[in-house]
A and B are shown apart, each in its own frame.
Chain A
Amino acid sequence: MRPTVHLLSEELIERIVAEARDLLCTLGVEIHNPGVLELLHGHGARIDAAAQRAFFTPDIIDRSLESAPHGFKLYDSLGQEAVDLSGDRTNYTPGSAAITILDHGADRSRRPAAADYVRYAKLMCGLPNLASQSTAFIPQDVPEKIQDSYRLYLSLGFCEKPVVTGCFTVEAFELMKDLQLAVRGSAEALAARPLTIFSCCPTAPIKWSDVTSQNVVDCARFGIPVEYISMPLSGFMAPVTMVGSLIQHTAETLSGVAISQLTRPGTPVLYGGSPAVFDVRYETTPMGDIGTMMIDCAYNEIGKSLGLPTQAYIGLSDAKLLDAQAGFESAAGALLAALSGINNCSGSGMLDFESCFSLEKLVLDNEICGSALHLLRGITPKEDFPARARFEEMLAEGHLLISAHTRRHLRQEHYLPGPVIDRANKSRWAEEGGKTLGERARAEVERLVAAHRPVRLDSGVKQQLTRLMNAAALRAGIDRLPVSI
């Protein structure tokens, strides 16, 4: 039996969805993109061009929900299945687009560079509980125009896992799509075996910018999966009540689903988000707040009720350092996400809301995610009935350590974390250096980075990726990238 947690009744879900649909049809959606307004108009939406508003119809919403897939899979750069985003399967991926990085032992974060990103991508290869990589932070030693695409280039160059990513501009999509086509070989192959998910964010309340709505359209044209990152801020840019925030989240996300599905029916999408309660003391958006996590888990239930796979920014922390708060908030989020059945959980490695990345925290979070995934396996009998023979064996032998039953089931029944989690008795811990969590995580980062093996993409593909990236770098005003694959 899979353990689960539920926060909403079916009746409450129905009322929330009904209110959201009503908002879309009567209040409308502000969309700063003439092409998207035209698209919606073509499918029956009333448009107020002056106010840049589209008033949806129930039919648009119904048809969009009908054509959206109930789940999909991601494939690594070699074309192997890597992530199943369907049913109640939970997967973890790092947080995205941090602007700073925290070094081990430092008490202040700094701006990350390409070399940091390479270490991150190499590290990702050795973290089995994170099924996909993300473009986790933004290298600051390349021009802004290529910061988004350069992350994807480095990710593809140093790690085979699929990538959760996104564009900062409309123009960047072309290159980021071409990088993927270089890996897959054709648009058909890319659509058949998606390599990335693009995060596309509506703006609270119930708006789409030109860039993000265009990204949704562009991804749909190529069958590239999209996760909608609706961000209602409860009590600030959303009603203070959780139900009110959920109504807003539902409206924003349904509007994104419609843009995708009207562009290309069947485009894979994730019913995602990054909502937060608004902390009225510090004017911040705490991702480690239990209320934030409750909204995440609740909209996951709404998404599932609509038949859609889901995503959330959860399992991350507002702490500035790798401390007890970081562990508490990350573990609480990762466990709740697992129990809720959120399909793609973004957040590992992230500190300081969603703005600082830590490689050491990523290693710790990999263990948190491993523990959560173990929890999801639940409890099932394994040669346990009848029980008497096992107990007779224990009485005869004095223990069951080398019992065949133990050896058959040990590695499935027990989760054995890596060395970042301290399980030694105190004397052994002391003999092995008496290391703090940070020191153990640091050692594990170094070990895994050193163990990295080159990605197995054909050299011709790597050269093509580099040709595409070099050309973009030249257009952006630099003749040499800090790191090439």
Chain B
Amino acid sequence: MDLLTRLSESLQGGDADQVAELTRQALAAGLAPKPILDQGLIAGMTVVGDRFKAHEIFLPDVLLAAKAMYAGLDLLRPLLAKAGVATGGRVVIGTVRGDLHDIGKNLVAIMLRGAGLEVIDLGKDVAPERFVAAAQEHGAQVIGMSALLTTTMPVMRQVVDLCRERGLYGKVKLIVGGAPLSAEYAREIGADAYCFDGVNAVDVVKRYLGTA
């Protein structure tokens, strides 16, 4: 079994230490960072996502694999930056103002990072201004908004409206998620997509970034 296949399989098994070790070995063997990322780490996460969707593995397995992905990605990221290779995209994410429920948002952030994306996590109770400012500051391609309370859902519309005001609308993709949300609501407020779970969020973001 070649090194990158072993790397992919270690990631699928959620073995962060082994992923770090194999990433180091791949680099020491002279492999370029990009194929290590694509054929080792991302290939492994793609299998994990597919198996999750097929109910063969469960959320804990996906999260462990995502954490293992960090272990490899942390080693590759400086080298990829140095070589001028984009690492997949940048997402600003947060739970909207007035809402302190961040478990779902945190899971989505873990999975997005696990998919090789850079995630700027603004935390919870995030004002519309902070979403927009962070997206501008970091050059994010996607803003992800989460809410659990029906009373805080309207804040999402405020973020959308602020993006229109600042000229970001259409340039930055706006995605929403959370228990009371729906695709209909996303359409109604002018968001680009509703994501029904973390794996779905990864699929949606990758589709927008053209890396799916």
Contacts and interface: CB of A to CB of B under 8 A. Distances in A.
**Do A and B truly interact?**
yes
Contacts of B107: 399, 401
A401 B59 contact: yes
B80 interface: no
Interface string A381-409: 00000000000000000110110001100
A402 B67 contact: yes
Interface stretch (B23-31, B138-146, B155-163, B192-200): B192-200
A427 interface: yes
Nearest to A427: B196
B200 A406 contact: no
Interface string B167-199: 000000000000100110000000000101100
Contacts of A407: 60
Contacts of A107: none
B63 interface: yes
B103 interface: yes
Contacts of A399: 103, 106-107
A64 to B, nearest CB: 50
B60 A426 contact: no
A416 B59 CA distance: 13
Contacts of A428: 196-197, 200
B60 A406 contact: yes
Contacts of A402: 14, 60, 63-64, 67
B103 A410 contact: no
B106 A398 contact: yes
A401 B200 CA distance: 18
B100 to A, nearest CB: 12
A426 B183 CA distance: 10
Interface in B38-76: 55, 58-60, 63-64, 67
Contacts of A431: 196, 200
A397 to B, nearest CB: 10
A425 interface: yes
Nearest to B196: A427
Nearest to B182: A427
A419 interface: yes
A426 B182 contact: yes
A425 B179 CA distance: 9
Contacts of B64: 402
Contacts, number: 39
Nearest to B106: A398
A425 B182 CA distance: 10
Interface string A413-429: 00010110000111110
Contacts of B14: 402
Nearest to A403: B60
Nearest to A399: B103
A410 B107 CA distance: 18
Contacts of A401: 59-60, 63, 107
A406 B59 CA distance: 11
Interface in A417-458: 418-419, 424-428, 431
B164 to A, nearest CB: 25
A398 B102 CA distance: 9
Contacts of B60: 401-402, 406-407, 410
Contacts of A410: 58, 60
A407 B103 CA distance: 19
Interface in A171-205: none
B104 to A, nearest CB: 10
Nearest to B194: A427
Contacts of B179: 425
Contacts of B200: 427-428, 431
A168 to B, nearest CB: 42
B183 A427 contact: yes
Contacts of B102: 398
Contacts of A406: 60
Interface in A88-129: none
Contacts of B67: 402
A435 to B, nearest CB: 14
A419 B196 contact: no
A418 B56 CA distance: 10
Nearest to A430: B183
Contact of B196 (A398, A416, A418, A425): A425
B59 to A, nearest CB: 6
A150 to B, nearest CB: 37
B22 to A, nearest CB: 21
Which among A406, A407, A418 has the highest number of chain B CB atoms within 10 Å? A407
B200 to A, nearest CB: 7
A431 B195 CA distance: 11
Nearest to A414: B58
Please provide the 6 A-B residue pairs with the shortest distance between their CB atoms, ordered closest to farther.
A427-B196, A428-B196, A402-B63, A401-B60, A402-B60, A425-B196
12 contacts: A398-B103, A398-B106, A401-B60, A401-B107, A402-B67, A406-B60, A410-B60, A425-B179, A425-B196, A427-B183, A427-B196, A431-B200
Given A402-B63, A416-B55, A418-B55, 18 more contacts: A399-B106, A399-B107, A401-B59, A401-B60, A401-B63, A402-B14, A402-B64, A406-B60, A410-B58, A410-B60, A416-B58, A419-B55, A425-B197, A426-B182, A427-B182, A427-B194, A427-B200, A428-B200
